[in-house]
Amino acid sequence: MSVENAPVVDVDEAAIPVEKKMYYRFESNDKKEFRVSELAIQQSETLNRLVEAMGYTSEDVENKPAIAIENIDGKTLKLVFQWCEHHKGEAIPVDDGSVPKIVEIPEFDAKLMDIDNGLLFKLIWAADYLNIVQLLNVSCKKVANMAQGKTPAQLRRVYLLPSDEEDEAAKRAAQEAQDPRAREVEEEFEERKRQGGNSFF
Partner 1 sequence: MTDFFKNNPKFLRHCLLYEYLQKNTVEEAFIVFCMMIENDIVKKEEFQCYYYNQFEEGIFDKNDDNKPITDILQRDKYALRACILYDSLKYKMAEFGHSTRFLWPKSNSTFYEIKSNPSFAMYKNFLKVIGEDVMEYREFDFWFYRFLNGEYDLKCERDEDKKIYELMDMPIDVMENIVEYLNIVDRIKLSKTSRSLQTFVEDQKLFQKTLFLGLSCYTSGVSLGDIVNSTYTQSYRSVEGCTPEQALLCFKSIIKNPKLHLDSLEIELDVGQNWLESFPSLEKVINVLEGALKFTHYLNVKEIFLAEYSWDQLSKILPSLKPGYLTTIRIVSYNPNEDSMKKVFETEQWKRAKCFEFISGHEFIWPLHHLYHFNEFSVFLETFSLENIRQMKEMLFKSTNFKKCTVMVRRIINMSTIEQELGVYIREYLDARIYHYPIPNSTEYFEITIDYEAIEIERKK
Residues 115, 85, 123, 112, Cα dihedral to 10°: -10
- Closest to partner 1 by CB, 13 or 114: 114
For partner 1, the binding residue among 17, 55, 100, 180 (CB under 8 A) is: 100
- Closest to partner 1 by CB, 66 or 113: 113
For partner 1, the binding residue among 21, 150, 172, 193 (CB under 8 A) is: 150
For partner 1, the binding residue among 17, 55, 65, 152 (CB under 8 A) is: 152
Using DSSP, state whether 111 is helix, strand or coil: helix
- Count, residues near partner 1 per rule CB under 8 A: 44
Q: How far is the CB of 107 from partner 1 (least distance, A)?
A: 11
Helix (H) or strand (E) holding 74: helix 74-86
Q: Tell me which residue of 164, 141, 140, 142 sits closest to 152, measured CA to CA.
A: 164
* Residue 156 near partner 1 by CB under 8 A: yes
For partner 1, the binding residue among 23, 92, 143, 192 (CB under 8 A) is: 143
Beta strands 32-37 and 23-27 are: antiparallel
- Closest to partner 1 by CB, 22 or 115: 115
Distance CA 25, CA 59 (A): 12
For partner 1, the binding residue among 90, 167, 186, 190 (CB under 8 A) is: 167
Distance CA 118, CA 143 (A): 11
Q: Tell me which residue of 27, 22, 8, 34 sits closest to 65, measured CA to CA.
A: 27
* Residue 96 near partner 1 by CB under 8 A: no
* Residue 59 near partner 1 by CB under 8 A: no
Q: Are 75 and 119 spatial neighbours (Cβ–Cβ below 8 Å)?
A: yes
Q: How far is the CB of 94 from partner 1 (least distance, A)?
A: 14
Integer CA distances (angstroms), 201 to 61, 185, 194, 197, 198, in order: 67, 12, 15, 9, 9
- Encoded one letter per residue, x for contact with partner 1 by CB under 8 A and - for no contact, window 105-134 reads ---------xxxxxx-xx-xx--x------
Q: Which residues bind partner 1 (CB under 8 A)?
A: 97, 99-104, 114-119, 121-122, 124-125, 128, 136-137, 140-141, 143-152, 154-164, 167
